[in-house]
Amino acid sequence: MTTDQDLSVGQLAARSGMSVSALHFYERRGLITSRRTTGNQRRYDRSILRRVAVIGAAQRAGIPLATVARAFAELPTDGVPDQADWQRLSAAWQQEIDKRIAQLEHLRDRLDGCIGCGCLSLAACGFVNPDDAAGSRGIRSTLLDPDPPI
């Protein structure tokens, strides 16, 4: 049963800033849920706005949707998660966000060295990659990766 507090997919899109197609995608992935009207139209509880906001924040921070799904699995499925629920979720992501920040800082601090040397080619760079030694590691930019694969 839907209520006048429920949002249509268009209303949810307008309120959240997400596209309708993104909301449908999140629903297919199980990140958000809707009910159907007798006319088979989707209706979302207003509490879904918070989940969509968290999804957007997570994506901006580079947190994969699979990680978001695992976190949402720990939240109540009926009703609105409370402040303690959200604090547990954010605490769980703190370490991952800190790691991403460190990776980005590592990349930022090394980019100008490669670009600034003037050779424009890691294959020809005798400073960072003499004799293209990194070429044997594959196609990733392993020289700029703080945690290169072993």
State the pTM of this model: 0.68
The whole-number pLDDT of residue 90 equals 82
- CA–CA separation, 81 and 97 (whole Å): 22
Average pLDDT, the chain: 80
| pLDDT (tens digit per residue) in 62-119 | 888 998 998 888 887 766 778 888 888 888 888 888 988 888 887 777 776 655 555 5
> Confidence class of residue 132 from pLDDT cuts 50, 70 and 90?
low
Please answer whether residues 68 and 54 qualify as being in contact, where contact means their C-beta atoms are separated by less than 8 angstroms: yes
- 79 Rama sector, left if φ>0, alpha if ψ -120 to 50, beta otherwise: left
E runs forming strands in 5-144: 35-36, 42-43
Give the mean pLDDT of 17-44: 94
131 contacts: CB under 8 Å, gap ≥ 6: none
Q: Secondary structure of the chain: what % helix, strand, coil (to 5)?
A: 55, 5, 40
Structure-token pair, residue 98: 């800190």
